[in-house]
Chain A
Amino acid sequence: MMFRISLLLLTVGVANAADYVNLPGGRFASVLPADATGADVDVAPFAMRSEPVTNAEFLAFVQSHPQWQRGRVASVFAEPRYLMHWQSAQKLGSDVLPDQPVTQVSWFAAQAFCESEGARLPLWNEWEFAAAADATRADARNDPLWREQILAWYAQPAGKTLATVGGPANFYGMRDLHGLVWEWVDDFNALLVASDSRDQNDPDRLKFCGAGALNLRDRDNYAVLMRVAMLSSLKAADTTNSTGFRCARAATPSSQGQLP
């Protein structure tokens, strides 16, 4: 009996299981199509944290994983600006609120956090699948008003004080996918956008194996283009003061929400 319980605990990890919400997945018209013919992608069912990881949660993580503390982590995993807004390596300080999403974290640091709770970073398609929804619709991307609202956030500089997590939930129960921070994804370096984004139809064929970089569909959805541009500009050890993350994992019965 005890053996079975401990086995179960090991498989689902020690994170607060209530934070993860199941999403059904399904066929999805992704901005980055599945192949050169522009096919839709199939997103397998998955679970994702309903909110970005907070300063408090990340603080707990670096306390129990000291090799990820600022000043101790190798620069190959996190650049010098890593967590620089915290007062010290293990202290937030009064300017940094525990419930703000953690920022100034690199992809490696985000991955390590997610692995520490038996999870991973979401795939680009999983994140976009969740982010296509508004409060009432699974896919609101054709609504120009909704798109304008999201664009308005991107147009504001990052200097203002960061809000705390816990905004209104969307159709899938996800919060803060828009309007708070940019978020790392597992395959951030798979976007294969030419750094001069006007080159979309002129791939240097030898530079990208597989007959060139993928073309972006739906160029009118500027918010998505901006997310692609943002992630494409980053390397795995980079941090910015508007980039945070949340974790994802396989859908399990212990998460909230019904399994499909």
Chain B
Amino acid sequence: MNIRRSALQALFTLIVALPAWMPAAFAGEAAALPDDSVYHLDMHLVDQEGRPFHLADRRGRPQLVSMFYSPCPYVCPLIIDTLRMTQRALPASDSSKLDIVMVSLDPERDTPARLKQVFGERKLDPATWTLARTEAPNVRKLAAILGIQYRVLKDGGINHSTSLLLLDANGRIVAQSGKTGELDADLVAAIERTLAAD
């Protein structure tokens, strides 16, 4: 019984510890992940086409990240508009180098099929845009690391702060914007700087 218990303990430890070790494994030939990179948080996501990926897979290109949920009537459509506006404010050569990722706050209702529907409705460009979902505990962790606040209400609605985060190629948060419905000149400038640095 003891042996089995310690074996189980070891197995458990491995299962829990493994995700945190994974980014180091994936770093491969690239430089070690900076201490303040979001990609230390490894999580499994699924995009609007149902394709699974790890958060750290995004490493290598700057990312504009936000969180939303599809039934959101007020601000979430505005977030998409704002992201599109921001993308268009960049010169054509630059806008293709920036990825846009929106992760759902409501993974139960935002299935990949639903995300695909929204993707089509809003005519998003698959070359740069991704709508994704992940399991509930990861939603809280991602929001925590990005500094996004949210609260699920009784009726299923979600109160959440609106925040666009710019990650550099190594996953560090280099800029943040709370502006929705208008272009944030500081954010555009930060994107240009980040793209130029790579």
Contact = CB atoms under 8 A, between A and B. Distances in A.
A146 interface: no
B153 A115 contact: no
A64 interface: yes
Interface string B22-65: 00000000000101111011000000000000000000000000
B154 A76 contact: no
Interface of A: 2, 5-6, 9-10, 13-14, 32, 34-36, 39, 41-42, 64-65, 67, 74-77, 107-108, 111-112, 115-116, 120, 186-187, 189-192, 205-214, 235-237
Given A2-B4, A76-B36, A210-B160, A112 B16 contact: yes
B34 to A, nearest CB: 9
21 contacts: A10-B12, A34-B153, A41-B154, A65-B17, A67-B20, A74-B35, A74-B36, A74-B37, A75-B36, A76-B37, A77-B40, A190-B151, A207-B161, A207-B178, A208-B160, A208-B161, A209-B160, A210-B160, A211-B74, A236-B144, A236-B145
Contact of A120 (B5, B74, B137, B148): B137
Contact of A10 (B8, B17, B76): B8
A35 B37 contact: no
B162 interface: yes
A67 B25 CA distance: 14
B181 interface: yes
Given A74-B35, A74-B40, A209 B144 contact: no
Interface string B63-76: 00000000010111
A13 B15 CA distance: 12
B12 A14 contact: yes
B121 interface: no
Interface in B137-178: 137, 140-141, 143-145, 147-155, 157-162, 178
A216 B35 CA distance: 37
Most-contacted residue by chain B among A34, A116, A207, A213 (CB, 10 A) = A207
Most-contacted residue by chain B among A74, A75, A236, A237 (CB, 10 A) = A74
B12 A192 contact: no
* Top 6 A-B residue pairs of the complex, sorted by shortest distance between their CB atoms: A236-B144, A210-B159, A209-B75, A190-B151, A34-B154, A74-B40
B4 A6 contact: yes
Contact of B153 (A10, A120, A210): A210
Contact of B75 (A65, A67, A206): A206
Contact of B162 (A187, A191, A207, A214): A207
Contact of A76 (B17, B38, B151, B161): B38
Most-contacted residue by chain B among A189, A191, A236 (CB, 10 A) = A189
Contacts of A237: 145
Given A6-B8, A65-B16, A76-B38, A209 B162 contact: yes
